[in-house]
Chain A
Amino acid sequence: MLKYVLKRVVAAVLTILVLITIVFFLVRLMPGEPFTSAKLTPEVAENMRSYYGFDKPMIVQYLQYMGNLLQGDFGYSMKYTNRTVNDIIGETFPFSADLGIRALVMAVSIGLILGIVSARNRGKKIDFFCVIVAVLGTSIPDFIMGAVLQYTFGIKWGLFPVARYEGIEYTILPACALAFYTLASVSRIMRASMLEVTSQDYIKTARSKGVSDLRITMKHQIRNAIMPVMTVMGPTVASVLTGTFVIESIFAIPGMGKYYVESVSNNDYSMVLGMTVFYGIFLVTCNLVVDILYGVADPRVRIGKR
């Protein structure tokens, strides 16, 4: 098991290195560059360029960046004066993560329950209802969802604040909007997976043993049906926790997602790189955790136990 994890960690580090390299060069291929604002005189811009080392050969810049990165230094933002990328991530990530965790807990718990209930009542009204929720969730874009929630719960009924992020009541609407898509896809996958498991031979074996229906679901179906859900959870967790541009913009939340998108349009090289690397590490870690959990849930995946 330890050897397996180590192997995966090494692979993860390599993945991230490749990711950094590709993004480093891709960023520089974007049209324009950070210091093209009309407010800057050519001399100042030239100064800035040499300050950030843009006059040196690409390969030197690359090595320098990698060197700094190894010390955990993402460098200074090229847009926000005097602020390091580390600072910005450190400031914005907690908002995104906080919102993300709320959304995830809601999405996964409700999604799983809906999936299980609808599979157990296949073809009945409640199943129909769950399928509709799933279809709506996967097909309504989050900006519409967000706006609808704001309008109904915020403006019309005045139950929750419409925007900003200053306390528990502020988190509810954005978390719901963010959760809806994940909730729907979790319930859809869980339903399909449960139905597949239901027709397996070992379920019939369990019935032949006189096991009650409830226990068959709890003990035999869920654990076998949960694998496909776990597979999609890796990337989902990473993307939900690191924030989404749309939800954060609509609800005026100072999260990471907004900065990420803005940094691209600003040609803020160090921000784009820093956030991509951060996201990359996060994603790879989530996938690694999922793979390990896979082994916990399914004994067949456990490798090198002895």
Chain B
Amino acid sequence: MAERENILELKDVVYSFHTYGGEVQAVRDVSFEVRKGEILGIVGESGCGKSVTAQCIMRLNPEPPGFFKGGEILFNGKDVLKMTKTELNNMRREDIGFVFQDPMTSLNPTMRIGAQIEEVFRGRKDVTKKEVKEKALEIMKLVGISDVEKRYRQYPHELSGGMKQRVMIAIALVSRPSMIICDEPTTSLDVTIEAQILDLLLELREKLGTSIIMITHDLGVIARLCDRVVVMYGGKIVEKGTVQEIFYETAHPYTKGLMESIARLDTEKGEKLKPIEGTPPDLFSPPKGCPFAARCEYAMDVCHELPPEQYLLSEEHNTCCWLQHEYAPETELKKPVIGKKGEVE
């Protein structure tokens, strides 16, 4: 992982929603960066703030009720939060593509496929209608849609789920953005289609050099696709590192729990999978200590009282867990610490 330029940088982003029940703090102090041509995975269970974080980047969350409480999001050095409506729409059109979770409901049922792809070029005067159509057909071929001329004229209900997701990817890619964000793009598809879609994403990265943010709760997808991983829990990042570090030098109990809860090739017959007991924290009033403490088998007194510091374990790898503290007991998770947040640059 050589020094590559950051295309996107999130710095201490705090995002909340106003609801009748009070303020939901969906994203709390999230910081990460995406480098050019990199695939970054964001993993975590349902309701941990993955999707909200991703949609923050393009400001797609409905506002109100959603609002930013703090932090900044720099895309190519420009703060997304300070953009005008036009700048924001230009960025959405040309620079970032977004692939949504459910292809079944994410396409407009009353518009033809071709028109939905071409809409990305709406309002751009530098391309002719003919060029736009060529681009649409070309991107449809690229994402593996067969019989493009026919599909171009069809409506979403005439396509299968896998085809629809390809159309979604085509929409995200047609303007050749420098980054695409995939929000669980394969959750609603069966495994063979999932494999095809993932291969496609890898191929696109090779061909176009696109940076990808991959949001998923599937560690298999992460292992297969990503360069680096962000593990989120309760609206916070609990661990961050390269794929190797996350899988083989796991430092956070939640990450360990995630890994133990999925079936592996070496799982013995009859051996039970180990779920993470309990439920995620209530984000109306997040716990004052570590959000995971209530479910953590390693939890110490301090975990319930104080939010953990961020420990740096390598250049890429860091985690927010008291187990890394020098006074913490020796566990298999404890790793040599090279610094704390703020101490080492």
Contacts and interface: CB of A to CB of B under 8 A. Distances in A.
Interface of A: 200-202, 204-212, 215, 219-220, 223-224, 297-300
A205 B92 contact: no
B157 A300 contact: yes
Interface string B61-93: 000000000000000000000000000111111
A223 B115 CA distance: 15
B105 A200 contact: yes
Interface in B25-71: 58, 60
Contacts of A224: 108-110
Interface centre among A210, A212, A224, A299, by most chain B C-beta atoms within 10 angstroms, is A210
A299 B155 contact: yes
30 contacts: A201-B106, A202-B105, A202-B108, A204-B60, A204-B106, A205-B106, A205-B107, A205-B168, A206-B108, A207-B60, A208-B97, A208-B98, A209-B92, A209-B119, A209-B122, A209-B171, A210-B91, A210-B92, A210-B93, A211-B89, A211-B119, A212-B123, A215-B122, A220-B111, A223-B110, A224-B108, A224-B109, A297-B110, A298-B110, A300-B155
A128 B92 CA distance: 33
A189 B262 CA distance: 48
Interface of B: 58, 60, 88-94, 97-98, 100, 102, 105-111, 119-120, 122-123, 155, 157, 168, 171-172
B109 A298 contact: yes
A274 to B, nearest CB: 41
Contacts of B106: 201-202, 204-205
B108 A208 contact: no
A299 B154 CA distance: 10
Nearest to A212: B89
Nearest to B58: A208
Contacts of A200: 105
Contacts, number: 70
A35 B107 CA distance: 66
Contacts of B111: 219-220
A224 B171 CA distance: 20
A283 to B, nearest CB: 27
Contacts of A206: 108, 119
B169 to A, nearest CB: 12
A271 to B, nearest CB: 45
**Would you call the interface of chain A mostly helix, strand, loop, or mixed?**
helix
Given A205-B98, A209-B120, 14 more contacts: A202-B109, A205-B100, A207-B60, A208-B97, A208-B98, A209-B93, A209-B171, A210-B89, A210-B93, A210-B122, A211-B119, A212-B123, A219-B111, A299-B155
Nearest to A123: B64
A209 B89 CA distance: 8
Contacts of B172: 208
Contacts of B102: 201
Contacts of A209: 92-93, 119-120, 122, 171
Contacts of A215: 122
Contacts of B109: 202, 224, 298-300
Given A210-B120, A211-B119, A299-B155, A205 B108 contact: yes
Contacts of A211: 89, 119, 122
Across the A-B interface, the 8 shortest Cβ-Cβ residue pairs = A210-B93, A210-B92, A208-B98, A210-B89, A201-B105, A299-B155, A202-B108, A201-B106
A299 B102 CA distance: 20
Contacts of B171: 205, 209
Contacts of B123: 212
A205 B108 CA distance: 9
B328 to A, nearest CB: 43
Contact of B108 (A207, A212, A220): A220
A297 B109 CA distance: 10
A208 B110 contact: no
A223 B111 CA distance: 10
A260 to B, nearest CB: 39
A220 to B, nearest CB: 5
A202 B107 contact: yes
Given A201-B105, A224-B110, A207 B92 contact: yes
A211 B89 CA distance: 7
Contacts of B58: 208
Contacts of B120: 209-210
A300 B157 CA distance: 7
A200 B156 CA distance: 15
A299 B157 CA distance: 8
Contacts of A300: 109, 155, 157
A207 to B, nearest CB: 6
Contacts of B89: 210-212
Interface centre among A297, A299, A300, by most chain B C-beta atoms within 10 angstroms, is A299
Contacts of B91: 210
Contacts of B107: 202, 205
Nearest to B103: A201
B237 to A, nearest CB: 24
Interface centre among A204, A215, A223, A300, by most chain B C-beta atoms within 10 angstroms, is A204
A210 B89 CA distance: 4
Nearest to B154: A299
Contacts of A297: 110
A208 B119 contact: no
